[in-house]
Structure 1
Amino acid sequence: MRPSCAWLALGLLLQLNLHLDLGQAANILGVFPYRIPSPFQMVRPLMRALVERGHKVTMVTPAGYPDDIDGVRHIRVAMLNQLMQTLMDNDQFVDALGDKWKEGVLASTIFYNVSHAILSDTGVQLMMRDRSERFDMIMVEASHLDALYGLAEFYNATLLGISCMHMSWHIDYLAGNLAPSVYEPVSPIGFALDHSLLSRAFNWVYITEEKLLERLVYRPAQVRLLKKFFGYPAEKLDELRSRFSVILVNTHFSMGRVRANVPNIIEVAGMHLSETPEPCGAELQNYLDEAEHGVIYFSMGQDILMKYLPENMQKQLLLAFSQLKQRVIWKTELSVLPNKSENIFLMDKVPQRMVLVHPNLRLFISHGGLQSVMEAIDNGVPMLGMPLFFDQFNNMHRVQLAGMAKVLDPNELSADTLIETITELLENPTYAETAKQMAESFRDRPMSPLETAIWWTEYALRNRDTSHMRLDVEEIPLMRYYRLDSLLTVGVRFAFVFGSLIFLGWRLYKKNRNRNRRLRERQMVFSQIQLRLRDYETAF
């Protein structure tokens, strides 16, 4: 009987474990409207890992982005693809660049159209009308697509944010991280990067304008969609914006920006590094292995085609590279470059991570995309940045301040400047040493970025109420939040001393003025007496 009892106990234990695993599985809906490949490098490994852990994942994405993930139900919104093409063909897009308010109005239109395209999509509508559908968690990009937050209320689900781009005051606000800051704009174009008092004042005005745009332009448009598709009042949006449980952000303090976060802002930079990199082909591998003087890798990312770069910039790059003794791998869709030297190797699709990890690689010349910067840091490779737009300026500025990179303006590029800068980066060992130190710091974590993201995602599933991880401004009086009480005390003391000095000065002035007045009166009386005495002597 004992063996039978043992087998029965083991069977019950296995059955109990099965039920426990099923109980931990969750239905997760991810809404990711990106129309470029790079953000999905962060999202894709997380979705795969959640499926492997038994969760049921549904993704709402554009057609073709990303490729189908095994075990994930995909709802493709073709209208998102059409919106991007329409935007690129619109002259208004070019006209708005450089004008914050025009950019804001255009961005509001884009956010409105994206939210409307998703919520009005046939597949999404069928999902919402299906009474058997339920979701335990809604994952959304923590951007200005506020109407999509209504899905969390609709399904009574946990709301989790993902930020594939840089941090901003807006993400801080959604996370309840309401620390006053002038360092985290939504759009870094035109944002001062130095820390002078004048620049801080300018940046405060800059971010104040962004907050006005958010409140006066972005939010009202999203409120209209919230009412149209969910029937919720405008007040519901404020509540939804405060319901973010956790926000996974694609950054890490080792990348050159140490910041104060509340506990529900989770730094998970490097999640895409958990995926197996694409191997080098035989020709590229030999080119790297046989490089006697090392290799320089030049890439402007996946989304910037070389043919659209200014012709003078291409000419200066070609002229500079041809004078180097190092071999150069040039990522370009062009199969032929005029006057190309023998040390330049052209490739359309480069296995970037395998190139960066090769021991002969000496320098990475890049536009400064977040994933590229991350991969350079992970492999300890010095960088030369030539940023063109959006977060690239800030990304390169951070690693330049850290000491592993230099930055050039691509609009004012010359072959001589390029050669001089490359020589400095290659021959000065400080850049390589700093890059290696940053790589060690970037990798030295208690858990991998993907494991961290999974743990906190499941933490949010286990704990629906995460208000204990947020800072709510209502809980902190304005006087205390901005330390106005101490400023008021100092101000009162200063005012008392300053007022006392003014009062004493005024009293001394009045006393001196009265004394002078009395002296003048005495002199006038004395003069009149003398005049009368003369008149009297003349009369007699």
Structure 2
Amino acid sequence: MRSGCAWLALGLLLHLNPYLDLGEAASILGVFPYRIPSPFQMVRPLMRALVERGHKVTMVTPAGYPPEIDGVRHLRVPTLNQLMQNLLDNDQFVDALGCKWKEGVLASTIFYNVSHAILSDNGVQLMMRDKSEKFDMIMVEASHLDALYGLAEYYNATLLGISCMHMTWHIDYLAGNLAPSVYEPVSPIGFALDSSLLSRWFNWIYITEEQLLDRLVYRPAQVRLLKKFFGYPAEKLDELRAKVSVILVNSHFSMGRVRANVPNIIEVAGVHLSEPPAPCGAELQKYLDEAEHGAIYFSMGQDILMKYLPENMQKQLLQAFLQLKQRVVWKNELSVLPNKSENIYVMDKVPQRMVLAHPNLRLFISHGGLQSVMEAIDNGVPMLGLPLFFDQFNNMHRVQLAGMAKVLDPNDLNAETLLDTIKSLLENTSYAERAKQMAASFRDRPMSPLDTAIWWTEYALRNRDTSHMRLNVEEIPIMRYYSFDSLLTFGVRLVCVCGSLIFLGWKLYQKNRSMHRRLREMETVLSNER
């Protein structure tokens, strides 16, 4: 269910010189239809850096998201802004939640509408009809917006994917990276967490169901758009998907579970940390400096307003915070809280990175947004997760498995449980120690995340053909991929052993039965002679 929700969240949201040098400017078109600000935290620094390196960058985005970037040509698509409101006003949104196939159909409709809104936009159409427009690279969110891949073919450009959310099986398949789909959990809900035979079987069922959704629901809708706006046949979609050169993913092995990647999946988690943090005001700085017993920071992110949380949940949070000796910085747009005390500091806009970097901060209570999790890891701060939807469950589950966090169900929250969990996180030093270890690993890289993203972007510009970085699926027989060969060997041995035991047992039974029959015959003969 939550995997489907993740896709819903995401939906809401050239003639290349083959001898292009690092310093030679390229023309890049980025298509990012996100309707919330958090994904642009990854995109914005990358676009700025590419402009600074002399590249010509054009961005297709919703109106107002992100704010204007110096040196970037912005093509705004106002229709994308309206799509979110139309979805929220649609009763099918609530009805679909809980049923994977209904969620899939609704998500497919969203992806269709997003792709259609972009390709039919007047500004985009004028750009496509302008014969002087040339693009060397098309950057696009690596989701089910497959019709947008047609822009790469239209401009004879390199196709580069960006994933601002967590890794999914779909991204693996775009990169030709089939191996992790069964052996490694991508979602704590959809995938089992161990490598047992039963877990692999469950994961295979889950992946197969996802593939059916992709084949039967997502792709047909995108193929219709591919035909309508580009005139390409349905077969072209598979060809375009196989042309995805590099995918920049907002993840890193230090953030939790290590996974197997092919070379064209590039982990660049922390790109947004290249931007300077918002300054910490004097009043907040003093409040944290004077926290004798340490401080706790509570935030549900940029997109979740406190007024929309259940009143009982807010009440339980307040009751727990009032009983703490630690000072609490609470990101809350409500300036007045009932029973406000000296140990609770309420702010509408909190300089989160500066707060997390403060030496007196002991714990971060969060919804588990990806950027927030990264910032907690970067500063070595233990976490208490209260995930609500989309990728938040996966993000928090990863750091919980890594040993630097605990997770509670916000729908079943009470002050006593919350207080006990906070105290256990503060008193058990293993969480803080593990958080510091993860921070050291997260920061210890040969290049910064932004420099890594730039290098691989320009690598894709220099190398049109990246097939040498992709896994050739045709070279991996299905028997070998699912380890059916080893399972078959084991099965044959098991059948032989069981068959031998059954055969031996049957022979012993027959021998015993024959012996008893002869004894009865002898007894009968003896009794007749008497």
- Return the TM-score normalized by structure 1: 0.89
Query: Is 1:126–2:108 an aligned residue pair?
Result: no
The residue type paired with residue 69 of structure 1 is I
Matched with 1:48 is 48
Q: What is residue 399 of structure 1 aligned with on the other side?
A: 399
User: CA 1:417–1:510 in structure 2 vs 1: closer, same or farther (change >3 Å)?
Assistant: closer
Give the corresponding residue for 1:91.
91
Q: 1:421-500 residue pairs with structure 2 within 5 A?
A: 421-500=421-500
Residue number in structure 2 paired with 1:108: 108
Letter in 2 for 1:149: Y
Deviation at 1:523, TM superposition (A): 6.3
Query: 1:257: how far off?
Result: 1.6
Distance 1:422 1:196 in 2: 34
| CA shift for structure 1 position 24 | 2.1
Q: Which moved more, 1:85-94 or 1:443-452?
A: 85-94
| Offset from partner CA, 1:436-467 (integer Å, 9 cap, x none) | 11111100000000000001111111111111
Cα pair 1:186 1:210 within 8 Å, conserved? no
- Give the deviation of 1:216 after TM superposition: 1.1
Q: Secondary structure at the match of 1:29?
A: strand
Q: Distance in 2 between matches of 1:368 and 1:381?
A: 13
Range 350-359 or range 493-502, more displaced: 493-502
Query: Equivalents in 2 of 1:251, 1:22: separation in Å?
Result: 25
Could you tell me which residue of structure 2 aligns to residue 274 of structure 1?
Answer: 274
**C-alpha separation in 2, matches of 1:447 and 1:393:** 29
- Residues 503 and 138 of structure 1: CA distance in aligned 2, closer, same or farther (over 3 Å): same
Distance 2:479 2:137 in 1: 37
Deviation at 1:491, TM superposition (A): 3.0
Shift of 1:199: 5.8
Do the aligned partners of 1:188 and 1:391 also contact (CA within 8 Å) in 2? no
Q: Residues of 2 paired with 1:522 and 1:277: CA distance?
A: 100
> Which letter maps to 2:492?
V
Report the CA distance between 1:161 and its aligned residue: 0.6
Deviates more, 1:488-497 or 1:413-422: 488-497
* Structure 1 residues 260-314: Cα deviation after superposition (integer angstroms, max 9, x where no partner): 1111111100000000111112222222222222221110000000001010111
Q: Number of matched residues?
A: 512
The residue number in structure 2 matching 1:9 is none
Amino acid at match of 1:289: D
SS of 1:441's equivalent? helix
Q: For 1:74 and 1:392, how far apart are their aligned partners in 2?
A: 30
> For residues 311 and 102 of structure 1, what CA distance do their matches in structure 2 show?
30
Deviation at 1:522, TM superposition (A): 6.5
From the superposition, tell whether residues 174 and 278 of structure 1 become closer, same or farther in structure 2 (CA, over 3 Å). Answer: same
- Read off the aligned partner of 2:103 and give its amino acid letter: E
Return the letter of the residue paired with 1:109. T
Stretches of structure 1 lacking an aligned partner (at least 5 in a row) = 1-18, 535-540
Paired residues of 2:288 and 2:360 also in contact (CA < 8 A): yes
Alpha-carbon RMSD: 2.3
The 2-side partners of 1:189 and 1:506 are apart by 47
C-alpha deviation, 1:400, in angstroms: 1.4
Change over 3 Å in CA distance of 1:510–1:274 after alignment to 2 = same
Larger radius of gyration: 1
CA distance in 1, matches of 2:279, 2:366: 21
Q: What is aligned with 1:296?
A: 296
Match of 1:409 in 2: 409
In 2, Cα distance between the equivalents of 1:449 and 1:462?
20
Give how far 1:524 is off. 6.2
Q: Deviations over 1:184-204 (max 9, x none)?
A: 677765666577776665444
Matches for 1:235-384 after TM superposition, within 5 Å: 235-384=235-384
* Partner Cα distance (1:90, 1:187) in 2: 27
| Contact 1:192–1:203 (8 Å) recurs in 2 | yes
- Alignment-mate amino acid for residue 243 of structure 1: K
The sequence identity of aligned pairs, in percent, is: 86
| Letter paired with 1:239 | E
What are the Cα deviations for residues 211-256 of structure 1, in whole angstroms up to 9, with x where unaligned? 2111111111111111111111111111111111111110111111
Structure 1 residues 183 and 393 mapped into 2: Cα distance closer, same or farther (>3 Å)? farther
8 Å contact 2:378–2:439 — kept in the other structure? yes
Q: Structure 1: how far apart are the matches of 2:42 and 2:509?
A: 73
Q: CA deviation at 1:506?
A: 3.9
Q: Unaligned stretches of 5+ in structure 2?
A: 1-18
Shift of the 91–187 alpha-carbon distance from structure 1 to 2, 3 Å rule, reads: farther
Q: For residue 406 of structure 2, give the secondary structure of its aligned residue in structure 1.
A: strand
| Cα offsets for 1:479-510 (capped at 9, x unmatched) | 33333333333333333343344444444444
Residue type of the alignment partner of 2:266: I
- Structure 1 equivalent of residue 5 of structure 2: none
Distance 1:74 1:445 in 2: 33
Structure with bigger RCO (C-alpha 8 Å, 6+ apart): 2
The Cα of 1:420 is off from its aligned counterpart by: 1.6
